Amino acid sequence: MPELPEVEAARRAIEENCLGKKIKKAIVANDSKVIEGVSASDFQSSLLDKTIVSAHRKGKNLWLHLDSPPFPSFQFGMAGAIYIKGVAVTTYKRSAVKDNDEWPSKYSKFFVELDDGLELSFTDKRRFARVRLLKDPTSVPPISELGPDALFEPMTVDEFTESLSKKKIAIKALLLDQSYISGIGNWIADEVLYQARIHPLQISSSLSKENCATLHKCIKEVIEKAVEVGADSSQFPSNWIFHSREKKPGKALVDGKIIDFINAGGRTSAYVPELQKLSGTQATKAAGKPRKQTSKSKGGKDEDNDEDDEGDGPTSEEKETTKTSKSKKGGNTRGRGKKPPMKRKSKESDDDNSGGNDDDSSEDDDEDPKEKAGKVKSKTNTSNKQAKTAKTSEQTVSNRNSKKLKKRVK
């Protein structure tokens, strides 16, 4: 999914190919889920004859500065991507456009043609991205709520160490929090923690100064390397956990060591148990508890990754995405503590039944004990009455038959 390096690659492609050029044509998709707060027609008209002055990024958000406001802003979500026709821009697994696809793509949400004929498109196959038209993108959410950019505004080692000492949450969850540091997503968090040999669930405030310094160094090195190669994962160092983090458990290895998967920060997290160990009191507590392993789908893919947009832990959009996903699926029809649906008896079993009704007993399990006792007593009384009635009827028939026999004998 697009994280800081992927969005930075898109920003640099725009900066290198589109600045100083005027927008002569604009097509904005009529998709109110992605195009937020403005109609497609108003968006289009606001772009025409505007010149692209610069391209900016913070975290995983990008916006174009035109010669006058408002400005288009892009929040990439799970599969958002920038394409420039005829220009190589980094692609990734969930992006939509291939070289032999139609142009602009059917997944295009924002398309402009510049005065020199160059064409730019923002696509989103999964529809978790957001495209906005804003007077000042930095003054409103989500950009106004972001923490310092991991590439452009890095903390010093001392600032980083001091801030971690005050955080009582797991380090993986903290790195995913965009209000703390913006731009780090799931794969970068896994990578920097692996490189620093820190367990994803280690409480941030428990990290030693040495751990903090090492992690600070790894964040810088991983992000700078990914940006240097234009976010082209085929050029990432071979000793990165990145290359194996989506393989099946048991088959995922890095430098010959087994990669395991747990849930950390609300996300499936890849780590190497042999090298990334819990320390201090957490290690003692963990020794007495069975470890829960996060399941992965048949293809080895992270199942929960498909249910969030930014993939950044405690962000408002992720919560929104989770709610949307649950409502579409209809929620959990069998909550904890609920009984499974009762099995209906076949006609044959009804005819042969002589041991009571199983359905009744199942329903009775949810009843108040007093009401249940009353029903049992009522059923018993009814049965006794039926038995007495049947006995009386049998005696009457017997007496009649006896009288008939006597008459015949006479």
Q: What is the mean pLDDT of residues 158-175?
A: 98
From the candidates 2, 5, 70, 104, give the one annotated as an active-site residue. 2
Instruction: Decide if pLDDT at 380 tops 50.
Output: no
The rounded percent of the chain whose pLDDT value lies above 70 is 69
> In this predicted model, what pLDDT tens digit does every residue of 47-87 receive, in sequence order?
999 999 999 999 999 999 999 999 999 999 999 999 999 88
pLDDT score for 315: 41
DSSP H stretches of helix in 232-340? 281-287, 316-329
Identified catalytic residue from 3, 6, 8, 310: 3
Asked if 24 is an active-site residue, the reply is: no
194-233 pLDDT per residue, tens: 999 999 999 999 999 999 999 999 999 999 999 999 999 9
Looking at residue 284, its pLDDT comes to: 84
- Compute how many other C-beta atoms are within 10 angstroms of the C-beta atom of residue 258: 14
Least confident of 41-45, 106-110, 269-273, 404-408: 404-408
Asked whether the predicted pLDDT for residue 328 surpasses 70, the reply is no
Contact yes or no for 364/356 (Cβ under 8 A): no
- Per-residue pLDDT band at 292 (split at 50, 70, 90): low
Check whether 3 has a pLDDT greater than 50: yes
Eight-class DSSP state of 292: P
- How does the average pLDDT of the chain come out, rounded? 80
Identify whether 3 is a catalytic site residue. Answer: yes
Nearest to 174 by CA among 149, 152, 203, 196: 203
pLDDT at 32 over 60: yes
pLDDT in tens, 332-378: 444 444 444 444 444 333 333 333 333 333 333 333 444 444 444 44
Q: Is 60 a catalytic residue?
A: yes
Q: Are β-strands 61-66 and 71-75 bridged in parallel, bridged antiparallel, or unpaired?
A: antiparallel
* Cα 199 versus chain centre, distance: 21
pTM over 0.85: no
| Per-residue confidence (pLDDT) for residue 107, from 0 to 100 | 95
Which of 50, 58, 60, 296 is labelled catalytic?
Answer: 60
Burial of 282 (0-12, 13-18, 19+ CB in 10 A): middle
- Return the minimum-mean-pLDDT range out of 111-120, 282-291, 312-321: 312-321
Mean pLDDT over 383-398 rounds to 50
